[in-house]
């Protein structure tokens, strides 16, 4: 039977490991420390595994936690790269712009911007 858990919980786990503490991760994720701790506890229960060793001063990975972190870290890094690429792409204008204007106006105003690699065609 497959374990039921959230990808968000795995992302929280990776953030804790990456930042080295629950407190830093809770700040980074804009989540309360108690909620973050509860979500990780529920993740470990769903997986029936211990991923993190916790003490008063630090968090360390168990052997199983290292295996999970190595695999999921790559996944979430790829997701971040995809998100960044999509954000970069949406900010770049693409496509054709059609402007209807008298020929004189088109020649006068559009000739100034033609030097910026914008191709335009005057229709008569």
Domains of the chain: 7-90 (1.10.10.10), 95-124 (no CATH)
Q: What is the pTM of this model?
A: 0.66
Give the pLDDT confidence score for residue 121 in this predicted structure: 56
What span, in angstroms and rounded, lies between the C-alpha atoms of 71 and 68? 5
What stretch of H or E contains 52? strand 52-54
What span, in angstroms and rounded, lies between the C-alpha atoms of 114 and 108? 11
pLDDT exceeds cutoff 90 at 42 = yes
The pairs formed by 52-55 with CB atoms below 8 angstroms and a separation of 24 or more are 52/13, 52/16, 52/17, 54/22
- Residues 57-108: tens digit of each pLDDT: 789 999 999 999 999 999 989 988 998 888 877 777 777 777 676 777 666 7
The most confident of the ranges 1-5, 52-56, 93-97 is 52-56
Higher pLDDT, 34 or 110: 34
Give the pLDDT confidence score for residue 1 in this predicted structure: 46
Q: What is the DSSP letter of 36?
A: H
Q: Largest Cα–Cα distance of the chain, in whole Å?
A: 78
What span, in angstroms and rounded, lies between the C-alpha atoms of 40 and 16? 10
Give the pLDDT confidence score for residue 116 in this predicted structure: 54
Q: What percent of the chain has pLDDT over 70?
A: 80
What stretch of H or E contains 68? helix 63-90
């Amino acid at each position: 039977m497959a374990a039921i858990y959230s990808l968000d919980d795995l992302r929280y786990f990776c953030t804790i490991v990456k930042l080295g503490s629950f407190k830093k991760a809770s700040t980074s994720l804009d989540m309360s420390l108690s909620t973050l701790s509860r979500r990780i506890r529920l993740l470990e229960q769903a997986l029936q595994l211990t991923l993190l060793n916790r003490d008063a001063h630090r968090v360390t990975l168990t052997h199983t936690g290292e295996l999970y972190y190595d695999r999921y870290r790559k996944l979430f890094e790829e997701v971040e790269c995809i998100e960044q690429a999509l954000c970069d792409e949406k900010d770049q204008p693409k496509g054709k712009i059609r402007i209807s204007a008298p020929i004189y106006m088109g020649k006068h105003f559009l000739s100034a911007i033609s030097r910026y690699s914008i191709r335009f065609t005057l229709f008569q």
